Structures are given as structure tokens and as C-alpha cells.
């Protein structure tokens, strides 16, 4: 038997925060070594963070990554364990997305990514070049400061694998697995038994099964050990990376990490017998025949043993049942973890939500409640980092910490019902009951006085007073009066978010949460700069239909029973007066149902349909209940309002990404919008340079004047933290 223990991990990296990233990498290696692993795999671009986007174009980013790698190699981190680190590397004049394979304080190979992710949320071709030279490994000359520190001048660079004394190991980076001709097929025929896939894969509802089936398929007929590592958390953008690092052996899942978790480091171990891989391959005739005439792949030989021999004290990992979450659980957990990362990394002290008592804002409130439950649960499980963050954000003193989710919510979550003369008693009550169930600090505010003052000001300026349509006004007047209410709510929400902490003697500020769903964004059924304009929006890429099923689930599983009544109520904006013969309804206003909007969205984005091809598809889909003329009217109506309201997408609140037909616009300056405002690694490097330059200045002064000069260079740096009083800091 050839027994091999491997470790892969979920890491919550933060784009451009090199100190944070290096800390978690070291923790993962320490845990891997303590667990007896001989291979440690981390996620794609783990040293920099995956979401650096246009920061990858900066030479600083590449330079800092080399500095971090040097620190790892100069210490004992790689002693006795093969580590694969993800980072950008510049070779000649090209920038590559690479896995750097290290062992015993040496770089043994650099594997550049050959097939780049360049669709949907990914634009890797904007920042990296795909490696196209498959024939031979090339010599890569290490940067001078690295080669001097490591006493190593060159390293093999390119497509290939590492041949050890007892097995062969290769990297296959993220997107490469999903290509029509994935590298692992060819590598398996060349004798590679262990595949390491470093990934940066985001959460999307109902997506995980596609990913896991790819791992299983890769090894089911070819045999092999497939290790997968992923980021987990929000690293500074709209995406939540959903972990689920795992190990698959010969088509069986033998180890699986969590998909959603507030942990910063989660290790996944597997103890495997590589002879099982060899046995499977030798028993498949077609594998033997194809291997006998394979195309040769370059290799690096390392005279080192990774495996142990037969040992009864070692327990082998057995196949296990794959853990999947339902879509309702995904909505409860994914956005909740995303919100937690924003809260703890933004410098904010909590969230403020305009809570209308409707389905959308109630979904957001339930997700915040889920976040509070997750935090309390993780603290009870002994996670000291989550505990420290919760103590800091909740301003606990005297050794206290959160033990009850409702008590924690009261400290970090404000909800505000901003009612008008058009609000019903039912929605007012629903908002209050839900706030009580979650534990938020709730306000009931009337905006009628502010709205009336604005209308009176308009009348003073123009001599005219607009009326609602039900009172005889025109469509223009009706829309204008609705928009005034909506925009007043936005102004009030941001005022309360900034000043309520001051009122309650709390430091910092609160983040305003938006609550527009993906279908309303697609249709443009929202007022520009109303309370849909917020700091972040956890449901902005979730469909109305999924939210409704989530509400029914959450009423039971999260313990917020009032959500069942909220889900059953017809959606309404409550921006027009209620009359005995008229009540404003969303689907009537939009001229289409939420079900129809989901269909339009998927055809437009996922299936890339223009108006004509959408019409043809819907003639088949709806032909049994609608005539072609009726289908045509619906398609034309959708594209009319999609086009009219597309401008709203350029200012849409940054939203959690959960649906592939999201219409959110994000085109030009591709950098994240959540930073560590202290830039600890970079600012420290500046301070070090200042100290060096000041030392040079002292030496120059002494040599020219012959006098001793005292220079103060303490490296201090005044950094404005978010919410510290500078209106440009934070959100």
C-alpha cells in the first residue's frame, strides 16, 4: 500500500490585504502539518486574493506576492510538505495566473494557467495571458531578491507534472477542469495520480452540483485523487466564494468542507491508498490502450517520498454522502456570510434596513437574522476569531460576548418602517412583528410631513400642486408623487444610519441595506435613488419566486413565523392611495408577472436571446396558452421597459451575486469596492522605505557636514478608519 495524507482548505482571503492572506495561509499550513498531511493545497491566487481585478495590472501586486512567497520559503512552512500557492507571475513581458509548487524551502515548479475564465463574472483575459506552450517546460529566472534569498536561480515553468519517487502530482487550475479537453485526461494517461485544483469559484443558487459532478467525472473512469481548494467568503466584491473544498478518489467523495461558514480557515483532510488508483487504471482495458500511445507531458523529477507504507494505525478515508443545501438554505446562509464579511471588514457597527413589511425587505431582515444566528452558533462552537469580531462590532465589555441571536441583533441591526398616508395597517404591523422576532431595534416613522413640505415647496415655485391618478391627476403627477416618497425614504435611511449610533452613544456608522430583487432590477421596477439605493444589497441577484419560497422555509427553520403571512400577501409598493375600488399591486404596475420576468431574464442573459429569438422560444414555451400575437406583445413590452430603465442598472446598489441573469452593470474600473482602509502591508512597506531613505539621508549628511544629525523616522502612519468622521471614509 502507498498511504498518502492530503489536506485542502477553504480560506477567507481579502483582495489586496497581504497580511491577512499570509496569516491564513500560514494557519492552514500549520494545521495541515499538524494533521500529518504531505500535500497542502490552497485556493487560486490565494496570496493576493482572487478579486484584485485591475489591481493585477499593477506591478506592486506581483512584487508583494513574491515578498509573501519569500517569507513562506525562508521559514519552515514548507519543510516536509508539498505546498501549492496561487499568485500572479510575470515571465518576460507576460503576466500569468500561476500555481507555485514548493517543498523544503525550494520552488520545484511554476504552473501557469492555460485556460482562463473569461465569461460571466470572470475577466481573467483582461489581466492574465493564457500559457500556450505545452511541449516543454522552460527555465524561469526568479526575481533577483528571491533568488538571492533562496539560493535558487531558475525554476521549471510551464505545463507539466512533478514525479516523486512514489507518485506523480500535477496542478489543474479552476477553469481548466471545465474545458472540453481538460488537462487531467492527458495527465492521467502519463501516470499522474494526484490532481490539485486551486479555484476561485463563486456561489450561485443550484450551482454546486455542477462543480462536484465535474470532480467525480474526472476520476470515475480514469482513476486518481482529485483535490479541490476554494476561497470561502467575500474578498471585496459582489461575489461570495462558497468553499466546499473536497477530495475525490476514483469517483467517490471522501472528504468535503462546508459551503457556507464564517470561519477564516477550514481544513479538509483525506487519508488515501494510491494503490487503489493504480488498481483501477490497470483493470480498465481502454485506459491501458490509450496510455500506451499517449502524448508525452514534461515532468520535473523530485527524489522525495510522499507516501507511507502499510500501517494499521492509519485509518483510510471512506466514501461519504455529498452534502447539498436546498436553494432556501443557500439564500439563508450565502448572503448571511457575505453580510458578515462586509460588516466586520468595512469598519461599520451594524446594518440599517428600511423594513416595509413586504416580501423583499422582510427577506433581507430574515437574512440578517440568519447571520446573527450563525455568529452565535460559531461562537458556541469555539471560533475565537468570530467571537473577537462580534465583541468588537457589538461593543461588548467586561468579558461579555453574544450568546443569543436576538440580543446580538438588537446591538447591530436597526429596522425602520417609513410609513406614509398610503401605508396600510397590515404592513405596519407585519414589519413590527418581524422586527420583534429577529430582535432588531425598530422604529416606526411617518414621512407625510416631509413629503407634504416638498409638495408645498413645489407649489410655491410653480403654482401647481400634483395629484394622484385616483384623485384625478395625470400619469406624470402620479409617478412624481410616488417618487417623492421613495426618495425621501432613501435620505431618511442614510441619515438614521449615520446618526442613530451617535444617539445611542455607539461609535461608527451603520451600513444601509437595499432590498430590490433581481427581477425588479431587470424590469427597472424601482425608483432611481430611492430606498433601493443603499450600501449593499443581499438579495439583488435573487428572483422574486426564490424569495417567496425562502420566506415560507424561513418561517419554520429560522423561527420567524410572521414571514408566512408576509409571503402570502400580494406584493405592493404602497405609494398610491388605497381606495375601496383600487389597491396598487406590483404585477399590475409592471404589466407582467414575476414568473414571466424570470423567464425573460434567463432567455436574455443565459441563452443570449435578442427580441426575435426570445419571441421564437416563447412561442414554443407558451404556445399552448397564448397566440403568437400575444407572445409578441409580451416580448415587445418587456424589451421596451428593459431598455427604458437600463440606465438604473449603472447606479444599482452593489448586490450579492446569486443568479446568472443579473442585469447589474459593472463595466469599467474593475476593482473591488470593499478595502481594508489601513492597507497594512502596503503602508508598512512605505514606512520601511521611508526609514531606509531617512537612514541614507543621515549617512549623506554626516559624510558631507561631518556633524551628527538626529532624524526622527518612527514609521508612524495616520490612517483614517471607516466611520471615523471623515465623510470620504467608509460607505
Please choose, from the candidates 249, 266, 271, the residue with its C-alpha nearest in 3D space to the C-alpha of residue 38: 271
Domain positions in the chain are 3-324, 328-577, 591-701+716-730
Report the pLDDT averaged over residues 171-200.
96
Model pLDDT for residues 347-399, shown as the tens digit of each residue: 899 999 999 999 999 999 999 999 999 999 999 999 999 999 999 999 999 99
Of these residues, 28, 201, 346, 356, which one is catalytic? 356
Of these residues, 9, 44, 317, 531, which one is catalytic? 44
Task: Answer whether 3-324 and 328-577 agree in fold.
Answer: no
H helix intervals, 117-220:
124-127, 144-150, 183-189, 208-220
Better pLDDT: 578 or 198: 198
The answer to whether 589 and 579 are in contact (CB under 8 A) is no
User: Is pLDDT of 728 > 60?
Assistant: no
CA torsion sign for 210, 212, 218, 219 is negative
Please choose, from the candidates 558, 565, 571, 570, the residue with its C-alpha nearest in 3D space to the C-alpha of residue 366: 558
The answer to whether 36 and 72 are in contact (CB under 8 A) is no
The CATH class, in words, for 3-324 is alpha beta
Model pLDDT for residues 642-663, shown as the tens digit of each residue: 887 777 777 778 888 888 878 7
Model pLDDT for residues 443-483, shown as the tens digit of each residue: 999 999 999 999 999 999 999 999 988 889 998 999 899 88
The answer to whether 137 and 143 are in contact (CB under 8 A) is no
Confidence (pLDDT) at 714:
36
Q: Could you give the CA distance from residue 199 to residue 46 in angstroms, rounded to a whole number?
A: 9
Confidence (pLDDT) at 671:
67
Confidence of residue 716 (pLDDT cuts 50, 70, 90): very low
Model pLDDT for residues 678-715, shown as the tens digit of each residue: 778 877 887 887 788 777 766 666 655 554 444 333 33
C-alpha pair distances (Å), 549 with each of 7, 326, 366, 555: 37, 11, 13, 10
155: Cβ contacts below 8 Å, ≥ 6 apart: 107, 108, 109, 110, 139, 140, 142
Confidence (pLDDT) at 702:
61
The answer to whether 546 and 327 are in contact (CB under 8 A) is yes
pTM of the model: 0.86
Report the pLDDT averaged over residues 318-322.
94
* % the chain with pLDDT above 90: 69
Please choose, from the candidates 256, 404, 259, the residue with its C-alpha nearest in 3D space to the C-alpha of residue 331: 259
Confidence (pLDDT) at 647:
76
Model pLDDT for residues 237-260, shown as the tens digit of each residue: 889 999 999 999 999 999 999 999
User: Is pLDDT of 572 > 90?
Assistant: no
Residue 94 is a catalytic residue: no
Of these residues, 20, 98, 174, 531, which one is catalytic? 174
Confidence (pLDDT) at 336:
97
328-577 has which fold? Rossmann fold (3.40.50)
Report the pLDDT averaged over residues 658-680.
71
Confidence of residue 725 (pLDDT cuts 50, 70, 90): very low
Q: Could you give the CA distance from residue 481 to residue 471 in angstroms, rounded to a whole number?
A: 12
Of these residues, 33, 113, 410, 648, which one is catalytic? 113
Confidence (pLDDT) at 151:
93
User: Is pLDDT of 166 > 80?
Assistant: yes
Q: Which three cell numbers stand for residue 222?
A: 480514469
Confidence of residue 573 (pLDDT cuts 50, 70, 90): low
Model pLDDT for residues 66-81, shown as the tens digit of each residue: 999 999 999 999 999 9
Residue 337 is a catalytic residue: no
Cα 409 to chain centroid distance, Å, stands at: 23
Residue 44 is a catalytic residue: yes
Confidence (pLDDT) at 720:
31
Model pLDDT for residues 41-69, shown as the tens digit of each residue: 999 999 999 999 999 999 999 999 999 99
Q: Could you give the CA distance from residue 130 to residue 712 in angstroms, rounded to a whole number?
A: 48
Q: Which three cell numbers stand for residue 32?
A: 495541515
292: Cβ contacts below 8 Å, ≥ 6 apart: none
Model pLDDT for residues 533-563, shown as the tens digit of each residue: 899 999 999 999 999 999 999 999 999 999 9
Mean pLDDT of the chain, nearest integer: 89
C-alpha pair distances (Å), 369 with each of 363, 405, 494, 555, 731: 10, 7, 21, 12, 22
The answer to whether 25 and 69 are in contact (CB under 8 A) is no
Confidence of residue 674 (pLDDT cuts 50, 70, 90): confident
Model pLDDT for residues 202-228, shown as the tens digit of each residue: 999 998 999 999 999 999 989 999 999
Confidence (pLDDT) at 709:
42
Residue 356 is a catalytic residue: yes
Q: Could you give the CA distance from residue 635 to residue 630 in angstroms, rounded to a whole number?
A: 9
Backbone angles phi, psi at 609, to 5 degrees: -95, 130
Confidence (pLDDT) at 523:
83
Rg, the chain, Cα only: 29
Confidence (pLDDT) at 37:
97
Report the pLDDT averaged over residues 321-329.
95
Amino acid at each position: 500500500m502507498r498511504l498518502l495524507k492530503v489536506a485542502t482548505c477553504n480560506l477567507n482571503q481579502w483582495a489586496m490585504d497581504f497580511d491577512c492572506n499570509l496569516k491564513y495561509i500560514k494557519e492552514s499550513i500549520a494545521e495541515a502539518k499538524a494533521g500529518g498531511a504531505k500535500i497542502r493545497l490552497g485556493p487560486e491566487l490565494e496570496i493576493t486574493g482572487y478579486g484584485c481585478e485591475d489591481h493585477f495590472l499593477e506591478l506592486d501586486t506581483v512584487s508583494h506576492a513574491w515578498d509573501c512567497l519569500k517569507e513562506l520559503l525562508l521559514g519552515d512552512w514548507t519543510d516536509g510538505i508539498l505546498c501549492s500557492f496561487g499568485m500572479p507571475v510575470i515571465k518576460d513581458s507576460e503576466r500569468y495566473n500561476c500555481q507555485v509548487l514548493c517543498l523544503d524551502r525550494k520552488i520545484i515548479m511554476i504552473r501557469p494557467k492555460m485556460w482562463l475564465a473569461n465569461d460571466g463574472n470572470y475577466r481573467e483575459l483582461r489581466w492574465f495571458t493564457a500559457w500556450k506552450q505545452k511541449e516543454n517546460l522552460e527555465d524561469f529566472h526568479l526575481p533577483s531578491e528571491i533568488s538571492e534569498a533562496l539560493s535558487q536561480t531558475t525554476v521549471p515553468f510551464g505545463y507539466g507534472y512533478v514525479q516523486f519517487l512514489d507518485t506523480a502530482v500535477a496542478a489543474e487550475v479552476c477553469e481548466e477542469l471545465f474545458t472540453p479537453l481538460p488537462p487531467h485526461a492527458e495527465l492521467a494517461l502519463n501516470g499522474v495520480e494526484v490532481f490539485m485544483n486551486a479555484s476561485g469559484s463563486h456561489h450561485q443558487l443550484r450551482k454546486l452540483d455542477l462543480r462536484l459532478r465535474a470532480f467525480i467525472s474526472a476520476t470515475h473512469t480514469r482513476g486518481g485523487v482529485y483535490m479541490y481548494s476554494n476561497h470561502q467568503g467575500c474578498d471585496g466584491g459582489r461575489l461570495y466564494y462558497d468553499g466546499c473544498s473536497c477530495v475525490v478518489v476514483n469517483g467517490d467523495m471522501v472528504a468535503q468542507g462546508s459551503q457556507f461558514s464564517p470561519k477564516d480557515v477550514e481544513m479538509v483532510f483525506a487519508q488515501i491508498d494510491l494503490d487503489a488508483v493504480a488498481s483501477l487504471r490497470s483493470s480498465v482495458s481502454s485506459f491501458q490502450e490509450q496510455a500506451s500511445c499517449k502524448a508525452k507531458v514534461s515532468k520535473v523529477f523530485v527524489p522525495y517520498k510522499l507516501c507511507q507504507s502499510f500501517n494499521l494505525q492509519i485509518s483510510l478515508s471512506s466514501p461519504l454522502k455529498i452534502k447539498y443545501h436546498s436553494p432556501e438554505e443557500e439564500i439563508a446562509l450565502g448572503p448571511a456570510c457575505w453580510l458578515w464579511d462586509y460588516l466586520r471588514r468595512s469598519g461599520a457597527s451594524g446594518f440599517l434596513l428600511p423594513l416595509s413589511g413586504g416580501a423583499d425587505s422582510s427577506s433581507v431582515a430574515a437574512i440578517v437574522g440568519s447571520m446573527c444566528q450563525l455568529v452565535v452558533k460559531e461562537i458556541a462552537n469555539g471560533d475565537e476569531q468570530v467571537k473577537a469580531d462580534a465583541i468588537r462590532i457589538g461593543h461588548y465589555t467586561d468579558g461579555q460576548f453574544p450568546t443569543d441571536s436576538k440580543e446580538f441583533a438588537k446591538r447591530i441591526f436597526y429596522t425602520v418602517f417609513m410609513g406614509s398616508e398610503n401605508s396600510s395597517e397590515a404592513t405596519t404591523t407585519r414589519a413590527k412583528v418581524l422586527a420583534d422576532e429577529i430582535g432588531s431595534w425598530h422604529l416606526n416613522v411617518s414621512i407625510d410631513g416631509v413629503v407634504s413640505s416638498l409638495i408645498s415647496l413645489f407649489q410655491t415655485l410653480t403654482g401647481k400642486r400634483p395629484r394622484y391618478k385616483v384623485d384625478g391627476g395625470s400619469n406624470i403627477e402620479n409617478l412624481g408623487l410616488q417618487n417623492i416618497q421613495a426618495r425621501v425614504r432613501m435620505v431618511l435611511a442614510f441619515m438614521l444610519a449615520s446618526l442613530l449610533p451617535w444617539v445611542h452613544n455607539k461609535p461608527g456608522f451603520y451600513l444601509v441595506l437595499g432590498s430590490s430583487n433581481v427581477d425588479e432590477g431587470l424590469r427597472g421596477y424601482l425608483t432611481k435613488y430611492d430606498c433601493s439605493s443603499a450600501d449593499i444589497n443581499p438579495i439583488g441577484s435573487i428572483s422574486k419566486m426564490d424569495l417567496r419560497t425562502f420566506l415560507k422555509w424561513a418561517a419554520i427553520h429560522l423561527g420567524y413565523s410572521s414571514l408566512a403571512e408576509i409571503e402570502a400577501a400580494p406584493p405592493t409598493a404602497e405609494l398610491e392611495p388605497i381606495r375601496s375600488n383600487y389597491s396598487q399591486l406590483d404585477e399590475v404596475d409592471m404589466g407582467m408577472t414575476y414568473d414571466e420576468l424570470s423567464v425573460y431574464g434567463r432567455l436574455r442573459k443565459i441563452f443570449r436571446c435578442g427580441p426575435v429569438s426570445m419571441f421564437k422560444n416563447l412561442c414554443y414555451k407558451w404556445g399552448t396558452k397564448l397566440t403568437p400575437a400575444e407572445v409578441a406583445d409580451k416580448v415587445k413590452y418587456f424589451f421596451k421597459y428593459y431598455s427604458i430603465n437600463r440606465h438604473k442598472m449603472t447606479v444599482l446598489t452593489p448586490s450579492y451575486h446569486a443568479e446568472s441573469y443579473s442585469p447589474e452593470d459593472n463595466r469599467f474600473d474593475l476593482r473591488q469596492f470593499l478595502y481594508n482602509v489601513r492597507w497594512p502591508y502596503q503602508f508598512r512597506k512605505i514606512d520601511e522605505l521611508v526609514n531606509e531613505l531617512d537612514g541614507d539621508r543621515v549617512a549623506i549628511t554626516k559624510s558631507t557636514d561631518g556633524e551628527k544629525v538626529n532624524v526622527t523616522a518612527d514609521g508612524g502612519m495616520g490612517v483614517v478608519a471607516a466611520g471615523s468622521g471623515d465623510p470620504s471614509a467608509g460607505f
